[in-house]
Amino acid sequence: MVKNTMIIKEFRRLFILFIILIIIITGFSSYIVQASSEEVAPYDLKAAGDIQYDLKNGLIYATKDVSFKINNLNIECQKLKVNLAAEEIIAEGGIKLILKDETLIGKSLVYNYGTGSGTMVQAKTKIDSLNFRGGVIRLVEGEEYRAEIEDASFTPCILDEPHYQIKAKRVKIYPDEKVVGEDVGFWIGKVKIISLPGYVVEYKEDEKTGKKELYNTSPVPSLGYNTEDGLILSIYYPYQYGNNLEGKLNASTTQVGGQKAILENRYKITPDLVATTRYVYSKEFEDDEINKDSLLKGGLSFKRNRLKVTGLLGYDFIDEKRQEELDIKYRYSNRANITLYHGFTNEMLEQQLYKLDGHIGRYQWELKYNKGYDIDSFPFIRLYSPRYNLNLFNLKFITGGGRVTNKGITTDKGLVKLLIDKKLRLATGLDLTFQEKVTTNLYYKDSSFSDYKVYDSNLGIDYGINLGTSLDINSNLKFQMVNTEGDPFLPDDTAEEVKLLKPGLSFKYKLPEPGSMWILKLNGSYNLYSNFWESGTVLVQRNYDCFNYSLEVDLVNESLGVNINF
């Protein structure tokens, strides 16, 4: 009995020792795993000085010519502290921060790479064509804007002493949309020219490339001259006050008295509801007559999810008529959209549009019924093909059909448009371009068919050469011929037959100062049918890094034009 009791006690002692051993081994293993996981972090760190690891607190210290990369973030600096647990970076000295396509340079930085927000002091950066400087740049996430800069200045000029710049108390950057400055001043050199409560630099999409670029980088009016209108002064002023009110003024005036002005405003009442106003005024001279327009419109626009409804009330002060508009748009799915529009004059329905459009794969389609326009459809369907890049040429086409009315003439119509083009590199600097547009209009009226075809052929050759590092020469010769077959049943289908020869020659002489050059361009258009020059111009232009001025002479119309553009 005593022996059994001793065996049981010994077993218990061994069991307890075994449990303690398991706990020790498990704890030690977890420590090894934790240390290993901390050492193998998803980052790349290099430094010419010291690199220290505090594994217990998850901290990293580095000095002298530091390079730190993690995710889409790249930092170069002289002193770095990284908190892996908090995903926070503190950097000092000669900082270069690269975030995807954004590069910021500054003196000190606090940045959270988990949330994508942070602050840089004495910073500068470049976004598209604008160079920014600021006392503090804040990068933010979860807002409509990407960055906010205090005590900022921005300019398209690339020199350390810019020709002109905009200084602002605060700047907000909305990627691919706009740059908003608050309490701004426009400076030429070291002289302040004008103060404004706000200014907006907008992005505009290039029609050829589809790329968005900043285009109104200066609030200074453009000044020009030509022999027909005399002096021409134009201004484009977009603005934004706070987060809710924004607008734009686009106006011009000429020495002979012509005037144009468009004033638009938008006020965000709620995230879904916006109030809008638009005033248009113009005065033009044509054949010793004065044509005037004066139209005011205002209304509300409601947008939620896939639905947008806009209602407008307006008044034409020249014709003394009321105008009302109702516009409804609904995105039925990712492949289809619905549009309904009614336009009224003195409460009488004058314009109506019902449209379905969308895409099937790479093909775009449109079904439209409209009345009260230059060309009415009852209805008309169109199909747009994608651009096919074939071995011999590129191909794109549009086809459609339906019932249409144009200037009182109604007919059933079919349409086929074919576009073929190709660009060939014949030698270094020598290109040959070919483009053929064929439009076929098919008409069915009173049980009979007819057709009308338009052939628009274009052939061009370009040759460019660089003479050293300073002089570029480019010459081109383009030939265009438009022929037709048959008779157009609808007036607006009529195309003018032409045969034109268009020569061009340009010289660019680059100066030592960055972005500076002299440009000389000679262009003309000769009508081979009528045997006379339709146009002939000589342009001399002086480009600086952020503005230019030019002199253009029209040899055919014997006119002169002068322009200064910021």
Is residue 240 classed exposed, middle or buried when 0-12, 13-18 and 19+ CB atoms within 10 A define those classes? Answer: buried
Please compute, for residue 192, the number of CA atoms within 13 A of its CA located in the half-sphere on the CB side. 8
Q: Which residue has the tokens 């000092």?
A: 92
pLDDT score for 63:
93
Q: What is the mean pLDDT of the chain?
A: 87
> What are the CB-based long-range contacts (under 8 Å, 24+) for 260-267?
260/284
pLDDT one-digit tens code per residue, 468-486:
889 999 999 999 999 999 9
Closest CA to 520 of 465, 472, 460: 472
Cα 244 to its chain centre, rounded Å, is 22
pLDDT score for 14:
47
**3-state SS record for 6-52:** HHHHHHHHHHHHHHHHHHHHHHHHHHHHHHHHHHCCCCEEECCCCEE
Q: What is the pTM of this model?
A: 0.76
> How far is it, in rounded angstroms, from Cα 141 to Cα 130?
22
Q: Is 318 helix (H, G, I), strand (E, B) or coil?
A: coil
End-to-end CA distance of the chain: 108
388-389 and 394-406 beta bridge pairing? antiparallel
**∠538-544-549 over CA atoms, to 5°?**
40
**Average of pLDDT values for 400-428?**
95
pLDDT one-digit tens code per residue, 280-329:
999 988 777 888 999 999 999 999 999 999 999 999 999 999 999 999 99
Closest CA to 126 of 158, 164, 94: 158
Bridge partner list, 60: 53, 82
> How far is it, in rounded angstroms, from Cα 467 to Cα 164?
32
For residue 20, give Cα distances in angstroms to 7, 16, 17, 138, 469.
20, 6, 5, 53, 80
Closest CA to 127 of 146, 114, 112: 146
Backbone angles phi, psi at 241, to 5 degrees: -115, 115
Cα 343 to its chain centre, rounded Å, is 30
pLDDT one-digit tens code per residue, 528-542:
999 999 999 999 999
Closest CA to 409 of 488, 495, 497: 488
Closest CA to 455 of 508, 496, 411: 496
Is residue 392 classed exposed, middle or buried when 0-12, 13-18 and 19+ CB atoms within 10 A define those classes? Answer: exposed
State the pLDDT confidence band at 1, using cuts at 50, 70 and 90.
very low
DSSP state letter for 221: P
Please compute, for residue 55, the number of CA atoms within 13 A of its CA located in the half-sphere on the CB side. 11
Is residue 398 classed exposed, middle or buried when 0-12, 13-18 and 19+ CB atoms within 10 A define those classes? Answer: middle
State the pLDDT confidence band at 13, using cuts at 50, 70 and 90.
low
Cα 250 to its chain centre, rounded Å, is 19
CB 447 within 8 A of CB 422: no
Which two tokens mark 366?
A: 């449109």
CB 137 within 8 A of CB 125: yes
> How far is it, in rounded angstroms, from Cα 261 to Cα 250?
6
Q: Is 5 helix (H, G, I), strand (E, B) or coil?
A: helix
Which two tokens mark 28?
A: 């030690």
DSSP state letter for 566: -
DSSP assignment of 398-422, as one string? EEEEEEEEETTEEEEEEEEEEEEEE
- For 4, the enclosing helix (H) or strand (E) is helix 2-39
Q: At a CB cut-off of 8 Å and minimum separation 6, what does 111 contact?
A: 73, 75, 88, 89, 91, 97, 117, 118, 119, 120, 139
pLDDT one-digit tens code per residue, 51-83:
999 888 889 999 999 999 987 788 999 999 999
pLDDT one-digit tens code per residue, 473-520:
999 999 999 999 999 999 999 999 999 999 999 999 999 988 899 999
> How far is it, in rounded angstroms, from Cα 12 to Cα 21?
14
Residue ranges of alpha helices (H) inside 340-440 are none
Is residue 550 predicted with pLDDT exceeding 90? Answer: yes
Residue 192 one-letter amino acid: K
Which two tokens mark 316?
A: 């034409």
CB 342 within 8 A of CB 323: no
State the pLDDT confidence band at 419, using cuts at 50, 70 and 90.
very high
Which two tokens mark 379?
A: 């209805």
Is residue 25 predicted with pLDDT exceeding 70? Answer: no
> How far is it, in rounded angstroms, from Cα 474 to Cα 455?
29
Residue 16 one-letter amino acid: I
